[in-house]
Structure 1
């Protein structure tokens, strides 16, 4: 059986610590009465902090592992160079085959250490990356409202799919509006109220406001393609649905559109660094509480 590498041992340790933390969180939840809303709100914030602290701890340990591995790789390379310098011509001739074999082994060892170092570095970058940090901030914000992110597929329809999901969750409609219907109604509203939208649409090449032809093409794209939706389309959707919409962001205040309408907000999460292409919308759902789930 092969001996585990330092990286594998560290990952195993991190998994155990995450599992232990979940057990601790479960115990904390069990200790708080379900009717004590104030304490449960505090508990939610404490849980978010515990998870964030553990992530930072793992990040620091992975950094240290990366530094140690880099030092080992350099040591191996230096040893190879030393062997080359210290060996005389006579010794080199006598041990030619051994030296070549040793060089191959040393090179292979150095490459393996470098591979392990790259793996550790990638893990650190993931923990430090903008996407990870954005996710932590959003989780903390949502936890204060007893909410969590509900993932929506990234296919160009994400904003409409998030609205579709919110309607299904919050309004309990018997016949929910589909993404196709939401796009069609949005485009129809924009066409019928061009004066409300044209001032905000400009040609990227000239900077001039859209012509009638350009605006019609924009609306056709909204209706018939996977064109990404933004605040203009959300404004149109509040009019179509007669409902307010809020968009929660990690590093900016929550955007609220359609405040003139009564009713519970449809809530979306805007993520600037979710995928390689960048911007993305997700839906939200009630924060899952294992202690409540067990009782139901």
Structure 2
């Protein structure tokens, strides 16, 4: 059945292409004739598909005229059958030609004859097996599904592969910049986990310089209890980010759509995704520059702000975090991975 439906989908797709071409080439004078021809081609293909599916299911597809002749009880009764039955009844008896008067009298004197079940008399049983309407409906439905699948496949083939294009551009950018990608779990904490991984690899640690931010006691506890910067370091980075935004609310509050206390609480205690505001807070809290490689090859730079007097210019150039930002590659949506220098 699967091979048959696959062939049906291909034939339906080919027919749709032919119909599209015909309609494109139609003129005002020929449009009506071409539309009729296209309807006929589609109808013939659908009927053939229904017949093939019914045959595969062990049923003989009913002819089109048989379906039209079905009465409410599903039996066939044609004018020809009725006339033949009446002719047989009138010709029986004395063997003499009957007159209109005698025929009328005979009709009024006796009840209507019951159709004979003898093999010599035409009847519905001699027409063969009664068509199965449920099988026919299933066949039509299968043909419609095959047509819909063919159309969806054709539409998908013309759509842009954003995921494949993004990954290809990102890989080319990493190679050009001599960077190696570190996969981060896509769980809502990815931005903070990627930063924690980078801070640990650079030897900066998860505790920021006290001259930049004074941490709350709960934040200090989170920093001290991190077991693995790559796996649970996001807890410390989230808390540091929330503290910095709270201490510098005048810089961040104008860009928020909710009270700053509610905003920072979500950043610290939930899996709320991080974005531009959080990158700014991280860069300034830890005194690092952040370079984010975009899916189109661009590099977004977030600077640390006022330089720390204890860090000279040469040292500041080394305090750079690289992140990869995806929009289409991962199923959950936006995602950050960490990037390190290729060895």
Taking only aligned residues, the RMSD between alpha carbons, in angstroms, comes to 4.4
Separation in structure 1 between the aligned mates of residue 194 and residue 155 of structure 2, nearest angstrom: 31
TM-score, length of structure 1 as denominator length: 0.56
Structure 2: which 5+ runs fail to align? 17-41, 52-60, 70-75, 79-123, 207-226, 308-315
Partner of 2:278: 233
TM-superposed CA distance for 1:254, in Å, is 1.2
- Indicate conservation of the 8 Å contact 1:244/1:265, yes or no: yes
Q: Please tell me whether Structure 1 or Structure 2 has the larger radius of gyration of its CA atoms.
A: 2
The answer as to 2:292 corresponding to 1:247 is yes
In the TM superposition, residue 230 of structure 1 has moved relative to its aligned partner by 1.1
User: Are residue 166 (structure 1) and residue 198 (structure 2) matched?
Assistant: yes
Q: Distance in 2 between matches of 1:132 and 1:66?
A: 26
1:137 aligns with 2:169: yes
Picking from 102, 116, 136, the partner of 1:103 is 136
Instruction: Extract unaligned runs of 5+ from structure 1.
Output: 8-64, 204-213, 289-296
Deviations, residues 137-180 of structure 1 (Å, cap 9, x unaligned): 32332232244544333322111012123234454969865111
Would you tell me which structure has more helix in proportion to its own residues? 1
Q: How does 1:1-296 map to 2 (within 5 A)?
A: 68=11, 70-71=13-14, 76-79=45-48, 80=50, 84-85=63-64, 87=66, 89=69, 94-97=127-130, 103=136, 106-107=139-140, 110=143, 113=146, 117=150, 120=153, 124=157, 128-147=160-179, 149-171=181-203, 177=229, 178-203=233-258, 214-251=259-296, 253-258=298-303, 261-275=316-330, 278-284=333-339
- Relative to structure 1, the CA distance from residue 188 to residue 66 in structure 2 (aligned partners, 3 Å threshold; closer, same or farther) is farther
Checking the alignment, whether the CA contact within 8 Å between 2:194 and 2:323 is kept in structure 1 is: yes
User: Helix, strand or coil for the counterpart of 2:291?
Assistant: strand
Shift of 1:105: 7.5
